Amino acid sequence: MSVLLSATCVVPAAGAVLTAALPAGSTEARRTTTKYVALGVSAVTLVLAAVVALRFDPHGARYQLTESYSWIRSFGITFSLGVDGIGAVLALLTAVLVPVVMLASWHDADPAPAAPGTGPDPDTFEGRRRTQGFFALILAVEAMVVVSFYALDVFVFYVFFEAMLIPMYFLIGGFGDRAGGPESARQRSYAAVKFLLYNLLGGLVMLAAVIGLYVIAQDQGFGTFDLPGLTSAIADGRLRLSGTAENVLFLGFFFAFAVKAPLWPLHTWLPNAMGEATAGTAVLITAVVDKVGTFAMLRFCLGLFPDASKTFAPAILVLSVIGILYGALLAVGQKDIKRLVAYASISHFGFIIMGVFALTSQGQSGATLYMVNHGLSTAAWMLVAGFLISRRGSRLIADYGGVQKTAPVLAGTFLIGSLATLSLPGLAPFVSEFLVLVGTFTRYPAIGIVATFGIVLAALYALLLYQRTMTGPVKEGVREMPDLRARELAVVAPLVALTILLGVYPKPLTDLVNPSVNATLSQVHETDPAPAHPVAATSGGEQK
């Protein structure tokens, strides 16, 4: 039995403990040590996650590199891990983003600059353990997210799905953006509580559904939380759920994932959380943690409740389309840069959920790629926005103008982030967005067409933001703005490079993802709608 998957989970977890236990960071040197330790751990995790993705054989078994350890035997709970193409790719995304986020947040958890007489008290947490806490929490989130992507036991998944709320809560509530103004502490704790309550509510509903599923399965002799076992029993009819039970359980699972994703109208926690948290934490929320929600829709909702998935798909698609347009319109109307990015993400999550529930291979492969591409592109966009905000000390769009004149590289990378967000061909998000749209269109043409309007609105919010902040005459407060520093360039460069690479050559990802998508679709007993007048696809005319 390979221990590769558990190593990928244990390394960041152990790293979190280690980072937290390092000597308190009352001096600059100690803080720096802490940061390098955390960064090193995340780099090792990245290597492990990459090895997992490389070792995964797309033509092999559905779940590979499986491991299983007994945990709570009386309830049939085993700590079992395994990976399919989708999980491998998303864990890899997480492992790529965490070091990038750390590097971007390098100084976000330093003690607040000492204003006269209000310096941090060296005896408080604020003064001493802040840096350790911040980086340890990031690693803890990483560990929990990776377990969620690898978990093959419904209960194990649930535990980590819920547990990651705790470090996220502290990251949001404890380490705000310094640009928030006098009200910021209050707003931050409001945002953190709102985040927790929403997600906790979702999680509790899911817990009920998890128990419900177990009870029904146990009645029929499947006293287990083992996902592959349950799905195959459901698929071949050995385990039967009554229609109502399946629908109720589906909704229980789906509700939790839809809160986390977030799907309209359960989205209102996201703008607060992303607005008040540091830019790095905002990226963790939208690019990493929220992806567990959409991933779980694919794996758990479709796998465990195929019929209910089909029953509810049209309604979910309608909600997703509303989310696409609603999020985009709200983004157009924002005055705060980070909230704008948050609403844009809500629009993007609409696309992802639409792709999942269109129940076509283009839609689902597109949705999976979308999770990766949205992670990369939003990270680039949000982190550069964070660099901008840290320079001026304001999140308000109206406080900026003419940045391209004083900080051209910052403006240029921000433009690339904006273009990725509006899904310009050549950049990765285009591939996934178009796949989602096509995949939806072939089954539900009307919904596909309405969703396509999102591409116009995306251009509007992304370019309006760019115009208002970066172009025009140089505003007061922007005049002395320094351009990107080496550390900041090191944050942006890999994101931009990956966004371009995966826009031009996404094949390595699609090769990993396609077989897993096919397996998911066959669980739901769906096939792609056939073309009306299929033409034998010769690749591009005759060679002469």
**Binders of another protein among 182-221, rule CB under 8 A?**
193-194, 196-198, 200, 204-205, 207-209, 211-212, 215-216
DSSP secondary structure of 291-310: HHHHHHIIIIIHHH-HHHHH
Is 529 a residue that touches another protein (CB under 8 A)?
A: yes
* Interacting positions 285-344 with another protein (CB under 8 A): 326, 329-330, 332-334
Taking CB under 8 A as the binding criterion, the range among 7-15, 101-109, 142-150, 463-471 that sits at the site for another protein is 463-471
Q: At its nearest, how many Å lie between another protein and the CB of residue 269?
A: 8
Burial degree of 126 (CB within 10 A; 0-12, 13-18, 19+):
middle
Encode 356-402 in three state secondary structure.
HHCCCHHHHHHHHHHHHHHHHHHHHHHHHHHHHHHHHCCCEHHHCCC
Two structure tokens written together for 115: 């204003």
Single residue of 425, 485, 497, 522 touching another protein by CB under 8 A: 425
Is 467 a residue that touches another protein (CB under 8 A)?
A: yes
- Nearest CA to 20 among 170, 227, 200, 182? 170
Measured from the CB atom, is 78 or 368 closer to another protein? Answer: 368
Q: How many residues does the chain have?
A: 544
Single residue of 152, 342, 437, 512 touching another protein by CB under 8 A: 437
Taking CB under 8 A as the binding criterion, the range among 50-58, 231-239, 282-290, 442-450 that sits at the site for another protein is 442-450
Is 426 a residue that touches another protein (CB under 8 A)?
A: yes
Single residue of 115, 242, 476, 486 touching another protein by CB under 8 A: 242
Measured from the CB atom, is 249 or 498 closer to another protein? Answer: 249
Question: Are 354 and 363 within 8 A, CB to CB?
Answer: yes
Is 445 a residue that touches another protein (CB under 8 A)?
A: yes
Q: Which residue has the tokens 């340890």?
A: 136
Residue 397 phi, psi (nearest 5): -60, -40
Helix/strand/coil percent split, the chain, to 5: 70, 5, 25
- Spatial separation of the C-alpha atoms in residues 534 and 342, rounded to whole Å: 41
Two structure tokens written together for 242: 């009554």
Single residue of 20, 424, 490, 501 touching another protein by CB under 8 A: 424
Taking CB under 8 A as the binding criterion, the range among 109-117, 311-319, 392-400, 449-457 that sits at the site for another protein is 449-457
Single residue of 59, 73, 116, 533 touching another protein by CB under 8 A: 533
Size, binding site for another protein by CB under 8 A: 93
Is 245 a residue that touches another protein (CB under 8 A)?
A: yes
- C-alpha distances (whole Å) from 336 to each of 187, 230, 440, 476 are 14, 46, 32, 18
Helices marked H in 56-163 — which ranges? 85-104, 125-128, 130-150, 154-163
Q: At its nearest, how many Å lie between another protein and the CB of residue 431?
A: 5
Measured from the CB atom, is 74 or 242 closer to another protein? Answer: 242
Taking CB under 8 A as the binding criterion, the range among 23-31, 76-84, 275-283, 466-474 that sits at the site for another protein is 466-474
Encode 201-245 in three state secondary structure.
HHHHHHHHHHHHHHHHHHHCCCCCCEHHHHHHHHHCCCCCCCHHH
* Interacting positions 128-187 with another protein (CB under 8 A): 169
- Spatial separation of the C-alpha atoms in residues 218 and 224, rounded to whole Å: 7
Two structure tokens written together for 437: 């749209």
Measured from the CB atom, is 132 or 510 closer to another protein? Answer: 510
Two structure tokens written together for 370: 């979308």
Q: At its nearest, how many Å lie between another protein and the CB of residue 5?
A: 26
Is 540 a residue that touches another protein (CB under 8 A)?
A: yes
Single residue of 229, 323, 366, 417 touching another protein by CB under 8 A: 366
Is 435 a residue that touches another protein (CB under 8 A)?
A: yes
* Interacting positions 485-504 with another protein (CB under 8 A): 504
CB within 8 A of 10, min separation 6: which ones? 143
- Nearest CA to 88 among 42, 44, 48, 38? 48
Q: At its nearest, how many Å lie between another protein and the CB of residue 174?
A: 11
Two structure tokens written together for 85: 């193409």
Is 419 a residue that touches another protein (CB under 8 A)?
A: yes
Single residue of 26, 184, 311, 514 touching another protein by CB under 8 A: 514
* Interacting positions 255-294 with another protein (CB under 8 A): 265, 268
Taking CB under 8 A as the binding criterion, the range among 68-76, 176-184, 244-252, 288-296 that sits at the site for another protein is 244-252
